[in-house]
Chains A and B, each alone.
Chain A
Amino acid sequence: LAKTTQPISMDSYEGQEVNITCSHNNIATNDYITWYQQFPSQGPRFIIQGYKTKVTNEVASLFIPADRKSSTLSLPRVSLSDTAVYYCLVVSGGYNKLIFGAGTRLAVHP
Chain B
Amino acid sequence: GAVVSQHPSRVICKSGTSVKIECRSLDFQATTMFWYRQFPKQSLMLMATSNEGSKATYEQGVEKDKFLINHASLTLSTLTVTSAHPEDSSFYICSEKRGADNNEQFFGPGTRLTVL
Partners in one complex: yes
Nearest-neighbor residue (CB-CB) of A91 within chain B: B103
Q: Contacting B43 at CB < 8 Å: which of A32, A43, A103?
A: A103
A16 CB to nearest B CB, Å: 25
Among A62-70, A75-83, A93-101, the stretch in contact with B: A93-101
18 further interface pairs, Cβ-Cβ under 8 Å (given A43-B4, A43-B107, A98-B34):
A41-B91, A43-B94, A43-B108, A43-B109, A43-B110, A46-B105, A49-B103, A87-B43, A87-B44, A91-B103, A93-B101, A93-B103, A96-B32, A98-B46, A99-B46, A100-B43, A100-B44, A100-B45
Which chain B residues have a beta carbon within 8 Å of chain A's beta carbons?
A: 4, 32, 34, 36, 43-46, 49, 91, 93-95, 97, 100-101, 103-110, 112
What CA separation (Å) do A82 and B107 show in the bound complex? 18
- A-side interface size class: 20 to 34
Q: Contacting A43 at CB < 8 Å: which of B49, B93, B97, B104?
A: B93
**Contact flag A45-B100 (CB < 8 Å), given A97-B34, A99-B46:** no
Residues of B near A34 (CB, < 8 A) are 103-104
Q: Secondary structure at chain A's binding surface: helix, strand, loop or mixed?
A: loop
**Contact flag A97-B49 (CB < 8 Å), given A41-B112, A43-B95, A102-B43:** yes
**Contact flag A32-B103 (CB < 8 Å), given A43-B93, A87-B43, A97-B46:** yes
Nearest-neighbor residue (CB-CB) of B110 within chain A: A43
B31 CB to nearest A CB, Å: 11
What CA separation (Å) do A101 and B44 show in the bound complex? 8
A83 CB to nearest B CB, Å: 15
B89 CB to nearest A CB, Å: 14
What CA separation (Å) do A87 and B93 show in the bound complex? 16
Mask of A17-38 contacts with B, CB within 8 angstroms, 1/0? 0000000000000001010001
Q: Contacting A46 at CB < 8 Å: which of B36, B43, B106, B112?
A: B106
Residues of B near A99 (CB, < 8 A) are 46
